[in-house]
Amino acid sequence: MDHVDRILDQWHRERPDLDVAPMGTFGRLKRLVTHLSLRLDAVFEAGGLNAASFDVLATLRRSGAPYALSPSALIAWTMVTSGTMTNRIDRLEKAGLVTRAPDPADGRGTVVALTEKGLALIDGLIGEHVANEHRLLSALDQTEAAELDRLLAKWLACFEPESPPPADAAPNQPPRAR
């Protein structure tokens, strides 16, 4: 019996008229997010980053050479507001991990690019991050992990449209002006 089971037992006793099964799902998800976030954050912090900074650097890295995207493309991939993205870029630029430059296709726009320091950091950290994720999933066998991923994708699809990110956000494509 886990902590959530004990909570559900209390509800069954106090309100037997309610089907509280969804409470178990949401309670476990919430507790898992807390545990997983702590363990994921430990890897980011060891690299001098937080989850938000890691997300921006990883997005730029996986976009392919020249490891540069417009701020709007970064927003589309990371699903944050423009103000939040500006703050993240400011901090990463101050740390020497990214640069801002005029968009060569449109002088009115900008492109955010990894610096050599940023590329080295994300390349070193991504392997540790993936290994950590494998450790965190190790309680499940390969079939269970695949089934969990399939079910989570099905559930997530109810909340997120299947529309692709903007054209300038496509991986391995140079940024396009907006």
Looking at the domain assignment, is residue 139 inside a domain?
yes
The tens digit of pLDDT for each residue in 91-146 reads: 999 999 999 999 888 778 899 999 999 999 999 999 999 999 999 999 999 999 99
Looking at the domain assignment, is residue 18 inside a domain?
no
Looking at the domain assignment, is residue 3 inside a domain?
no
Cis, bond preceding 164 (omega within 30 deg of 0): no
Q: Contact, 26 vs 48, CB < 8 A?
A: no
Residue 78: predicted pLDDT: 85
Looking at the domain assignment, is residue 8 inside a domain?
no
Looking at the domain assignment, is residue 94 inside a domain?
yes
Which residue segment(s) compose the domain that 145 sits in? 31-169
Looking at the domain assignment, is residue 95 inside a domain?
yes
Q: Is the dihedral of CA 47, 53, 57, 62 positive or negative?
A: positive
Which residues, in sequence order, are bridge partners of residue 112?
69, 100
Looking at the domain assignment, is residue 1 inside a domain?
no
The DSSP secondary structure of 73-97, one letter per residue, reads HHHHHHT--HHHHHHHHHHHHHTTS
Residue 173: predicted pLDDT: 43
CATH of the domain at 124: 1.10.10.10
Closest CA to 177 of 84, 101, 88: 101
Residue 175: predicted pLDDT: 38
Residue with tokens 């069954």: 12
Residue 81: predicted pLDDT: 85
Looking at the domain assignment, is residue 124 inside a domain?
yes
Comparing 147 with 164, the larger pLDDT belongs to 147
Mean pLDDT of 86-90: 93
Residue 166: predicted pLDDT: 56
Beta strands in 8-143 (DSSP E): 68-69, 98-103, 106-114
Mean pLDDT over all residues of the chain? Answer: 90
Q: How confident is the model at residue 177 (pLDDT cuts 50, 70, 90)?
A: very low
Number of domains in the chain: 1
The tens digit of pLDDT for each residue in 17-34 reads: 999 999 999 999 999 999
Residue 160: predicted pLDDT: 84
Q: Contact, 84 vs 152, CB < 8 A?
A: no
Closest CA to 115 of 97, 88, 92: 97
pTM of the complete model:
0.82
